[in-house]
Amino acid sequence: MASVTFDQATRVYPGQERPAVDSLNLEVGDGEFMVFVGPSGCGKSTSLRMLAGLEDVNSGRILIGDRDVTDVQPKDRDIAMVFQNYALYPHMSVADNMGFALKIAGTPKAQIRERVEEAAKILDLTEYLDRKPKALSGGQRQRVAMGRAIVRQPQVFLMDEPLSNLDAKLRVQTRTQIASLQRRLGVTTVYVTHDQTEALTMGDRIAVLKDGLLQQVGTPREMYDTPQNVFVAGFIGSPAMNLGTFSVADGKANLGDTHIPLTRTTIDALTEADKGEITLGFRPESLDVSTEGEEGAFGINVNLVEELGSDAFVYGQLSAKEVAEHVTSGAGEAQLIARVDPRRPPMKGDKIWVKVRPGEAHVFSSATGERLPA
């Protein structure tokens, strides 16, 4: 096994001025499951392909263990890649697909069969070894692609959105299998996804990218509890965090009739560039149903109630116009999402009042979007 290091790694595509990946500095520990996550075009797949040797590195370098592989051919990097589209040979059996790379490398037939059967047992594919890919379900094909990577016994697994072609139920099942398999094998794994739920549930650590720049690296809990900037705050978490711009006066964040107390540490961290404003974030689960007139309470006109059995989420329009213009969420501008008691949810068209639970607001600079001390 081996660690992976991106040292100021940069990729600029021909004809483009802005790098697809800009000075990426990141270390993936030996045996770690690292997830790259971000919106389309953020540079996560490009970073993975640079590590695989499928994209050139214009500046900086990439190391696997202590070995600089920046200019090493993909076949010599001791990595195995699992693609989104499985990339199986349709005319070959499952066993032949899984052992093909070993066959090309000149591995003895007996050893190939042994490794293929061992991987098939791990992946519950033993009874399918003689089938062709067309006779398999999507989940089974993905497991074959995983098996092909496992039999090579590489130093690093690379996975590029391997669950994107699966239906919702199978995605949940397969991501659990991949995560538990990686922990059993202990192979360093770099996994790319645009699905932040996948990232939170699978990764030992998560790296969030945007516009080619690394925004934050940390454990799922760190990402959720202490997002480093407004982008990470709005991206990580489902449903998304509510964000609002408030004016600061008298030690409070003020928006219309809503007043949220701020600590002296937060107020002292504000600069002239913030122009007396602050960005507050509060997750749907950090809002408590309140009563009209209570300090800090928002009025919400309920547009939709999303009932999930164990949870219920209210999506609503903020009733105060001067407040609505400054607040946004995953549901859109002037919308607010709140978690409510699933046994007593409000009805569509109702008006409810909510307030932020003390100590659960996230504070960010309105000028830079960076997190401020609370």
Asked if 43 contacts 99 with a C-beta cutoff of 8 angstroms, the reply is no
How many folded domains does the chain comprise? 2
Tell me, yes or no, whether 152 and 72 share the same domain.
yes
Query: Quick one: average pLDDT of 181-204?
Result: 92
Ramachandran area for residue 316 (φ above 0: left; ψ -120 to 50: alpha; else beta):
beta
| pLDDT recorded at residue 233 | 95
Answer with the one of 198, 233, 268 that is the final residue of a domain.
233
Query: What's the pLDDT score for residue 325?
Result: 62
Whether 210 and 347 map to the same domain: the answer is: no
Flag whether pLDDT at 66 surpasses 90: yes
* CATH number of the CATH domain containing 15: 3.40.50.300
Does 257 fall in a domain?
yes
- Residue 170: predicted pLDDT: 82
DSSP string, 99-154: HHHHHHTT--HHHHHHHHHHHHHHTT-GGGTTS-GGGS-HHHHHHHHHHHHHHT--
- CATH number for the domain spanning 328: value is 2.40.50.140
> For residues 62 and 24, what is the distance between their CA atoms, to the nearest angstrom?
10
pLDDT of 215 over the 90 cut: yes
Q: List the domain range (segments joined by +) for residue 205.
A: 4-233
Q: What percent of the chain has pLDDT over 70?
A: 98
Cβ atoms of 62 and 51 within 8 Å: the answer is yes
Residues 175 and 254 in one domain: no
Co-location of 221 and 301 in the same domain: no
Whether residue 285 is found in the same domain as residue 354: yes
Crossing angle, helix 138-151 and helix 168-185, to 10 degrees? 20
Q: What is the mean pLDDT of residues 340-363?
A: 91
* pLDDT digit string, tens, across residues 5-36: 999 999 999 999 999 999 999 999 999 999 99
The CA–CA distances, whole Å, from 161 to 81, 157, 266, 326 equal 11, 13, 39, 35
CA 171 – CA 138 distance, rounded (Å): 10
Q: Are residues 332 and 185 in the same domain?
A: no
Pair 206, 182: CB distance under 8 Å: no
Residue reference for tokens 């919106």: 39
Q: Which helix (H) or strand (E) holds 180?
A: helix 168-185
pLDDT score of 26: 97
pLDDT at 58: 96
Q: Using one digit for the tens of pLDDT, what is the confidence trace for 91-105?
A: 999 999 999 999 998
Segment 322-341 shows an average pLDDT of: 77
Boundary of a domain, candidates 205, 233, 261: 233
Task: Give the pLDDT band of residue 254 (cuts 50, 70, 90).
Answer: confident
- Is residue 372, in this structure, part of any structural domain at all? no
pLDDT of 356 higher than 60: yes
* C-alpha torsion angle, residues 233, 237, 238, 241 (rounded to 10): -30
Are 192 and 53 part of one and the same domain?
yes
Asked whether residue 128 is assigned to any structural domain, the reply reads yes
pLDDT band (50, 70, 90) for residue 294: confident
Same domain, yes or no, for 146 and 117? yes
User: Is the pLDDT at 326 greater than 80, yes or no?
Assistant: no
Residue 314 shares a structural domain with residue 280: yes
The backbone torsions φ and ψ at residue 198, rounded to the nearest 5 degrees and listed phi first, read: -60, -45
- Same structural domain, 299 and 220: no
Residue 169 domain-assigned?
A: yes
Q: Is residue 345 part of a domain?
A: yes
Q: Tokens in use for 129?
A: 């070894």
User: What mean pLDDT do residues 264-289 have?
Assistant: 93
Residue 86 lies inside a defined structural domain of this protein: yes
Whether residues 47 and 109 fall in one domain: yes
Say if residue 190 is in the same domain as residue 271. no
Rounded average pLDDT over 157-179: 87
Distance CA 149, CA 81 (A): 6
If you average pLDDT over residues 310-317, what whole number do you get? 91
Q: Answer yes or no: is 222 within a domain.
A: yes
Tens digits of per-residue pLDDT, 128-152?
Answer: 999 999 999 888 998 899 999 999 9
Sign for the pseudo-dihedral over CA of 157, 160, 161, 163: negative
Q: Average of pLDDT values for 302-330?
A: 81
Q: Is the pLDDT of residue 322 over 70?
A: no
- Which pair of structure tokens corresponds to residue 84? 């989104």
Q: What is the mean pLDDT of the chain?
A: 91
Q: Is residue 373 domain-resident?
A: no
